[in-house]
Structure 1
């Protein structure tokens, strides 16, 4: 299992089945919150569901198409972050993440994204990193803005979450805009 120490508070671990029970518990605690922005908490909430997700994630990693990581904050599993897609042909990677509501406001996602952006440019040799967030998800949009990403546009009617249809704000950053200002 790969491990990256981001700083004294945050460690990222490549997903492993040993995380399944912790993920199930965290999602159960945050199901209502996460379900505002994500579809999967309605159907993925047992340890077996997460084992299936983790297995799929490992196949994506082996194929070079993605990387999912557990986020540990001060010794506690608090969420997930990674490259939802790595497109080698277009030299582009897209970051996705989620975090338990009780852990927001600590700069966790901003610091983890900063690391992944550097990793994408320096290790994966991509030319663009992108994040797509729900247009109305102000905390996620604020992360992108803190990272110095450029709002490239809004794509309407991009995703159905429950009974709502959400538009996505698309943010991008390129190597020449890096390094990212350090103000998490």
Structure 2
């Protein structure tokens, strides 16, 4: 059960996004520990960020970036339980663009959670931050994340080869984007 958070965004009756706080570190470490193999398919950090202290440091850095206007990182609260993480990364006010990042525990995939969250983050980028472009990068073979981007109205802009090394694999990334002008 998640304690009341000073900054919470309501997504719908099942989902809230809570600005990270140090009290989340234990839940994050337990969640990642149980999801390590699953998360490590597409993400570089899980093998290196597993302890409660690792997550405390991550949360502190995330809050510093939030205070400096560089990012917004939130816990995904589904039915009053932390099930993942989402963020607006690399907020660039000069170029008026931002990148979305996220991860979700395997047991909560297939419920439309990420699509609802990405739509909320897109809306937030355009309304609160007054940005013009939102990007999402997904490994070419990560069909679930690519489907989230497409269901959220994002358009494939291209593929960047040799974009990231995850474990022993070098991944190509599909880059999706939506512009404020694309909104109806």
TM-score by length of 2: 0.96
1:177 Cα deviation from its structure 2 partner: 1.7
SS in 1 for 2:130: coil
TM-score by length of 1: 0.96
Whether 1:156 and 2:161 are equivalent positions in the alignment is yes
The size of the alignment, in residue pairs, is 179
1:178 Cα deviation from its structure 2 partner: 1.7
SS in 2 for 1:90: coil
1:39 Cα deviation from its structure 2 partner: 1.0
What do you get for the CA RMSD once the two structures are aligned?
0.7
Q: Which residue of 1 aligns with 2:110?
A: 105
Whole-Å separation in 2 of the counterparts to 1:70 and 1:162: 25
Post-superposition CA distance 1:29-65 (Å, at most 9, x none) = 1100000001110010011000000000001101101
Once superposed, which parts of structure 1, at least 4 consecutive aligned residues long, lie more than 2 Å away?
Answer: none
Q: Which residue of 2 aligns with 1:182?
A: none
Whole-Å separation in 1 of the counterparts to 2:180 and 2:132: 6
1:155 Cα deviation from its structure 2 partner: 0.2
Matching of residues 1-184 of structure 1 within 5 Å: 1-179=6-184
- What residue ranges of structure 2 are gaps of 5+ in the alignment? 1-5
Post-superposition CA distance 1:3-42 (Å, at most 9, x none) = 0111100010000001000000110111000000011100
Whole-Å separation in 1 of the counterparts to 2:90 and 2:7: 18
1:2 Cα deviation from its structure 2 partner: 1.0
- What residue ranges of structure 1 are gaps of 5+ in the alignment? 180-184
